[in-house]
Amino acid sequence: MAKIKFLLAGESWVSNSTHYKGWDFFSSTVYETGVEYLEKAFDNTDIDFIHMPSHQAAKEFPLSLEDLGQYDVICLSDIGANTLLLHPDTWLAGKSTPNRLKLLVEWVQKGGGLMMCGGYYSFAGIYAGAKYYRSPLETILPVNIHTFDDRVETPEGTQPEIVDSTHPLVAGMGASWPNLLGYNELILKPEAKLIAKVGEHPLLAAMEVGQGRTLAWASDIGPHWCPVSFAEWPGYASLWNNAVKWLSGN
């Protein structure tokens, strides 16, 4: 049986530091990714995990339905809308290029599975800079997105609460989950299914869209909002395997 092809776009960053040593100084740059725990969750499974870092996604994220069709499930995680809207041909050369948010909507309606995971550049994000509110993508997600900075920091920890333990997304996971350290505040759509929440806010929600499916996970896939205690919990791998299989229709 063919493997499920799962593309994650985002979850990468470059950090630049300036070091002062008395009169002298120097700068250093480091490139990092946040997929370590998620990638490990698919070891020895029937899911083919493909990571497309943010700087590559600007140019390489599919520009046609045909190219999107090579994937069964796509996840956008900590990658703002501008990265997908501003292909280098548009941003640098002033050329017309396809609107990849609209393409994703059509791809889902024709049977694709899309998830968005939380982070500083997901949903509305820090300073509302992720800018998925009022975008084509918001129309197919199971949540509505605020037009302001939607981050909720809970350094003391917040306990997820399972609302629908019968849903395939949480099959075999039990009711007691480790704490999370933050999430994006979202608004559940009336037609969506709420599966888990934090406080009064959606944590995990899902929706059927045409022939496809969408999912929203309001917290991170790894530190800091999703702490090591959550990422190393056996239920973590179960959650993401369940999510990819459900989104793919399996």
User: Residue 90 above 80 pLDDT?
Assistant: yes
> What are the backbone dihedrals phi and psi of residue 122, each rounded to the nearest 5 degrees, phi first?
-125, 155
Beta strands in the chain (DSSP E): 4-10, 12-21, 24-33, 47-52, 73-77, 113-117, 143-145, 151-158, 160-162, 180-184, 186-188, 193-198, 201-209, 212-217
- Tell the residue number behind the tokens 């205690």, with chain if given: 229
User: Is it the case that residue 83 has pLDDT exceeding 90?
Assistant: yes
Is residue 54 scored above 80 in pLDDT?
yes
What range defines the domain where residue 65 resides?
4-248
Write 13-22 long-range contacts (CB < 8 A, 24+): 13/54, 14/55
Distance CA 97, CA 108 (A): 20
The pLDDT of 26-50, averaged and rounded, is 96
The total domain count for the chain is 1
Mean pLDDT for the chain?
97
Cα distance between residue 47 and residue 42, in whole Å: 6
More confident residue, 173 or 91: 91
DSSP string over 144-196: EE-SS--EEEEEEEE-EEES-TTSGGGTT--S----EEEEE-EEE-TTSEEEE
The pLDDT of residue 174: 84
CATH number, domain of 62, equals 3.40.50.880
CB count, 10 Å around CB of 53? 20
pLDDT in tens, 130-170: 999 999 999 999 999 999 999 999 999 999 999 999 999 99
pTM score of the predicted model = 0.96
CB 51 within 8 A of CB 5: no
Percent of the chain with pLDDT over 70: 100
